[in-house]
Structure 1
Amino acid sequence: MAFSGEPLTRWSGSRNMNLEEDFYFIDNQGIKWNAPKGSCLNGATIPRALWTAIGSPYSGTYRKSSIVHDVAVGELCNRDVSNEDRKKADRMFYEACRHEGCSRRFAAILYIGVRFGSWSAQLSSVFKSANLSSREIYRNNPENEYVSQKFWEIVDSAESYLETEDLDQLDMFVEAKLD
């Protein structure tokens, strides 16, 4: 397992970045997860409401992992990613986080975060249609409070799965909680 080096990025919006040179991660099966120059990045698709609790994806021990994950799930540049490919990318993210130095527990919490990100993205349209959310305000709005509360409810109840590295069991648990 290895990253290609240090990523070079440039801000392109309030939360978004562009990759200025090719970057990649090779997983434990030898699969190369490419993030080509010009790729659009938004921070591992972990909901912004969770950044204060688990840290911004632009710093810390999962920064590189968030880059290859962003490109693999394609939310900004390629929206035609299947659920199966998304799940593979989420699992690669867990593995990359572990390689980057995250503990099993923290990597599992981050993994729940990216799995949760797909689910919570659907909420934005509900909250926005009710005029309950603003792109300029991230604190004390109903959407962020709901996302944060639901996330920590799942993490707290997943305690027995956080140290096991059994992502199949963790997925089944999280998916059952999100249904």
Structure 2
Amino acid sequence: MRNLKRITTISSTIAALMFAAQGVLACGTYEGRLILEDVADQFVRDDPDDIGHTEFQLLSPYTFIDCNGTRHTVPPYREIGGETVPTVINGASIPPSVWSLVGGPWSGRYRNAAVIHDYLVETRYSSSDVTHRIFYDAMVTSGTPAWKASLMYYAVLKGGAYWEEGSAFVSSDRVADLSVEDLEEVKQLFLDRTYSPEEIQRLAEN
């Protein structure tokens, strides 16, 4: 266990150094092992051709500690309506239109961050702006390339779920506005130079 914790710390340190070289500060850390079981065969899809959303059950607690030291833990089980149910995630909190540019929700370094983000979106953590920023910081901590973390952050801000703190959850209709062509243009911006999270937010608001 001690060796595993040491390996996790070393991995986070390497990711931080990678992002420092790109002008992005990685200040978070992960705690625990990400253990997932593919349970897609237990779910019936409305669209049988939709192969992007693959359901996984989390088998052990997984935590992201953000830059403020706040712990965001995804439990393997939780109480819903008086019943104990397993935590199942599928990457649906990430707009599908961005997948063709970065890969599916489980294919890159951002997989760890997608687990945290899915859970925080489903449980309506704080506000959508806070939740999406945690996603960005978690991607940076995972070692996701700066342009890719920026593009995915832009995508969830522009086309992801939206809700305000203390209000009922509101599903966004903005996903339709995220065409692959538009995302290609934004991707090039992020390849040309490093944008701060605040700059990405302003870009998504336009």
Q: TM-score, normalised by structure 2?
A: 0.61
Distance in 2, Cα, partners of 1:49 & 1:169: 22
Q: Partner of 1:68 in structure 2?
A: 116
Cα 1:44–1:5 change in 2 (3 A) is farther
Distance in 1, Cα, partners of 2:134 & 2:145: 15
CA deviation after TM superposition for structure 1 residue 2, in Å:
1.8
Aligned length: 149
Amino acid at match of 1:100: S
Structure 1 stretch displaced more, 24-33 or 146-155:
146-155
Asked whether 1:48 is paired with 2:96, we answer: yes
Q: Partner of 2:74 in structure 1?
A: 35
Q: Partner of 2:149 in structure 1?
A: 107
Cα 1:45–1:117 change in 2 (3 A) is farther
Distance in 1, Cα, partners of 2:108 & 2:200: 24
Structure in which a larger fraction of residues adopt helix: 1
Q: Partner of 1:17 in structure 2?
A: 56
Q: TM-score, normalised by structure 1?
A: 0.69
Q: Does the 8 Å CA contact 1:23/1:36 hold for their aligned counterparts?
A: yes
Q: Does the 8 Å CA contact 1:44/1:69 hold for their aligned counterparts?
A: no
CA deviation after TM superposition for structure 1 residue 123, in Å:
5.8
- Displaced runs of 4 or more, over 4 A: 157-160
The CA RMSD measured in Å over matched residues stands at: 2.8
Distance in 2, Cα, partners of 1:45 & 1:54: 15
Asked whether 1:4 is paired with 2:46, we answer: no
Q: State the secondary structure of the residue aligned to 1:60.
A: coil
Gaps of 5+ in 1: 125-142
Distance in 2, Cα, partners of 1:112 & 1:175: 9
Q: State the secondary structure of the residue aligned to 1:61.
A: coil
Cα 1:44–1:153 change in 2 (3 A) is same
CA deviation after TM superposition for structure 1 residue 121, in Å:
5.3
Q: Partner of 1:129 in structure 2?
A: none
Give the share of equivalent positions with the same residue, in percent.
23
Q: State the secondary structure of the residue aligned to 1:172.
A: helix
Bigger relative contact order (CA 8 A; separation at least 6)? 2
Distance in 2, Cα, partners of 1:44 & 1:107: 17
Distance in 1, Cα, partners of 2:98 & 2:131: 20
Q: Whose Rg is larger? A: 2
